[in-house]
Structure 1
């Protein structure tokens, strides 16, 4: 049960109210307490301490602030109307009016959080659009560069082919001429280049002519051969197997059954997420969302934690821990009926009762019993605490709380 903080101090100016909430009996508020500030409602939740105030007049929550210093909470509240207050707390506020103010404050906080999430989603889509445009520009530039390289290589290849055709055409024309004249002309050109005269040719006789003819045919043959092709590399890519084991060592039938089950599960999840918008792969994983909600709960951001659990439940509604954790958030936010519903749903899923889920069932009974007690339904709350004790009979905390509830029932008759 929470320990209510009744001591506080306040002072005001025509437009600002300053409030100080110290710890109980000089004890400091440790950790990071949950501080909630609405138009006519203040709350400080630092287990086991709880402070709650319904204000005399509305304040501007957007310009108001709170800070934690030396174990105490200091509020700076900006008035909506610059006028002195007769009192800090509102007078003659009944339970129904208190509940209405709480629900209105939580509803407005939910709407504000939803607006922030929508704005964040819009910014994310804009960033994705900008990133996509930049990627398209880079791909277009790379494609143009590759096309230019291809065009350059094509031109080089065309020039080489044209040169090779010209050489073949020259050789063909030379072969069409008289072979004797061709040999004589080549021999004369050779003698001029080598520095020998006509006398050397006469002394050599027919043998020299035949030798020069062989040299010319070898040179002609060498000129007719095109140059070597340019070196290059070819990349081959193979479609990888889904399973890394070799085919001879794998169990093909079991692998195909597993792949079919995975495809069916992805199909079901994609069908359920069709209306959820553009989500990342992480945001489609209920376990990742549960861990994210747990981190937000640990930091005191209960509204955001509820949002993470809600999305995880929409993806997979058969995980008891999601309902159990969301029930804890609703308890912190005073959404008591929703806490009862989530705890009951978790108990329905935690079947059959086995030792592995005993701790979760005990938590579900305790959280539902706590919600009943907050609604002053102490008999129903005691039933849940007794059920939790049957599961964990050695838990002293549950036993002490159950005894307190019995005393409250006896005192109220």
Structure 2
């Protein structure tokens, strides 16, 4: 049976009631506060403070500050007037029970609405993040394509200019030959008919000179090709050994077959495909069928134990099912497979760290959870949600008062 707190104190103004409840050495994180428009409860085992309020209050704007050994609750009044008492004077247990049950139902409805609102907000944030990522990727692809087109046009124009210069040089050289032939013919006509030998010698020299001239240069085309790259970074900026090791692991994961597949000989069609089972598990998770998702991931892992996304997604299901130790184990297995750390698996490593850190925090192992959130923040330092969650864990570890 809880010990009722009687040494509380309260003050009021026309619009607000302030209640101070001593915590008797209890830590702030172990204090449970429930407040509605007619009822207030402050529970810190084994003590209990319970108030059936004299007048209705605005529970939406009500606040509570816990710290320094005391809980201070601010209750805005719905009607601006001075109360004669803090609580109603009736001691009828039936009436108190009805008020208490009504308060619990209202509090549960409030939590349910907050949960739905939070889920919708998270879905909207994920959708926005996905659309933003797709937009950035499209802009990057368009930029790369534009650069390729620019280089191709530049190369084509340079080649055309080179061909034009070659053609002009050939025409000038041909014209020079024709001028030289004309000069020789004029000089020959002016010579005396008695100088036939000299004329013959000149013609022979002219023919020899023409024979010694090189032929016009031939036109040609230059073919330009671009080196294919699996990763988006330039080759000179890439971490080649790590990227090759990651690609090797991905290839092994696609073709690896576990020894116990022989036991799964009754599977048919797509049931033997780990990728199909992963998609099925993802669909179950989206619809809230977390047990069905776990079964699909289990079967996919039996078929192929080297796909990190299977372990990471199963860890997310275990978090929903409150199997926190299994969530930590699956997240750790996913991180072991997500090596070496390269740009291609950065997002997957962030998800695995956050899921393991969340499981640690729900087990009240905040120091271990903080390490995982810091590791995720190191990979994605500009993620505002990660920054806020990491700071919240630091505040809990340092015992900072919360509201």
Structure with the greater relative contact order (CA < 8 A, sep ≥ 6): 1 or 2? Answer: 2
What TM-score results when the alignment is normalised by the length of structure 1? 0.48
Query: Which of the pair has more CA radius of gyration?
Result: 1
